[in-house]
Amino acid sequence: MNKSNSLATEVGPEIVKTLRQAKRVLLCVHQIPDGDALGSMSALISTLQEQGKDLFAYCHDEVPQIYRFLPGIQKVKQKIVDPAASFDVALIMDCGDLERIGPSLDFLHNVEVIINLDHHTGNPLFGHLNWVDTEAAATGEIVYQLHEQAGWPITADVATALYTSLMSDTGSFQFSNTSAYTMRIAAELREKGARTDEIRREIYEKKTMRSLQLLRHALNQLQISEDGQIAWISISSEINGQIGATHEDYEGIISYPRTIEGVEVALLFREMEVGTIKIGLRSNRTIDVAAVARQIGGGGHRRAAGCTFKGSLAEAEERLLEMIKGCLNAN
């Protein structure tokens, strides 16, 4: 099922050729990995292993429990034991820029070819070969097209991984980035053996008590602007520590303020430590939250983005609310 895409015809064949010639391949995804990043990685672990490649899969952070069912994902390591090790190719997936990989990029110095597979706006095309399609609903769409280009089989494991990728970044095919092409891919993956019951159970039907305690606190902290167009939740590092919440326990919390009638922009402020605030941004119709996030060194998509703010929770709230109000007034 081919998509009319100049990138697929221009850079796709060169990426396929490079991967066929490579012997040692490094796979990388961004920090605090999500279902799109890990689904894309899982698919390529399955496919490239089948071709006999010497693979190393790296992610700076631990794989969240809800994604540990993905085929081959146990191969992902949080540390490259030998930073001086050389690789023929590094496949970097779902990273809006290189810094999203982690604080140290020294291990990339000994990589001959960097391949950049991504769908984020503002990607600076950091690879030697760049397949960046901002119209793709997920990086998994690009990985699917790469399989088509190469003629690689879509096994049940690959289908399960890519279906997880698409489902994650489209909000179970509900978000506005879900295209007819996305749905056609999903249907084909289901036909190829994607284990959708397993995906649903592992991601949506297994909650920790921590996550429910966090949700209770989050809803108690929910605030809304006077005009009703902005809603936000702030979680301090103290509360996070008391609950013992992990990153995956925050999954879906930002959806609650976003679903309030009349709200255009939802924000989640999470104090990682005193002076460092991770901010999630979501919009419903008009505001490009990626453009807002980029002003603070972050990025993402028009309807979903994130950034890190240096300062207090109160300062982060004040800064972001001022920026969002400016955007709303300009529309």
Q: What is the largest CA-CA distance in the chain?
A: 60
Residue 149 tokens, joined: 């280009």
Backbone angles phi, psi at 202, to 5 degrees: -70, -40
**Residues 220, 185: one domain?**
no
Q: Per the structure, how many domains does the chain have?
A: 2
**Residues 135, 258: one domain?**
no
Residues 69, 178 contacting (CB under 8 angstroms): no
Whether 87 is in a domain gets the answer yes
Pairwise CA distance, residues 213 & 89, whole Å: 43
Encode 10-49: b = buried (16+ Cβ within 10 Å), e = exposed.
ebbeebbebbeebebbbbbbbebbbbbbbbbbbbbbbbbe
**Residues 74, 194: one domain?**
yes
Whether 262 is in a domain gets the answer yes
Domain of residue 320 covers 210-330
Residue finishing a domain among 186, 204, 222: 204
- DSSP string over 189-239: HHHTT--HHHHHHHHHS---HHHHHHHHHHHHH-EE-TTSSEEEEEE-HHH
Residue finishing a domain among 204, 234, 262: 204
- What are the pLDDT digits (tens) for 229-277? 999 999 999 999 999 999 889 989 999 999 999 999 999 999 999 999 9
Q: What is the pLDDT of residue 80?
A: 85
Encode 305-316: b = buried (16+ Cβ within 10 Å), e = exposed.
bbbebeeebeeb
**Residues 168, 230: one domain?**
no
Instruction: Say whether pTM exceeds 0.85.
Output: yes
Instruction: Name the DSSP class of 62.
Output: P
Backbone angles phi, psi at 79, to 5 degrees: -145, 140
Q: What is the pLDDT of residue 294?
A: 93
Residues 7, 72 contacting (CB under 8 angstroms): no
- What are the pLDDT digits (tens) for 48-98? 999 999 999 999 999 999 999 999 999 999 998 777 789 999 999 999 999
Residue finishing a domain among 204, 220, 245: 204
Whether 1 is in a domain gets the answer no
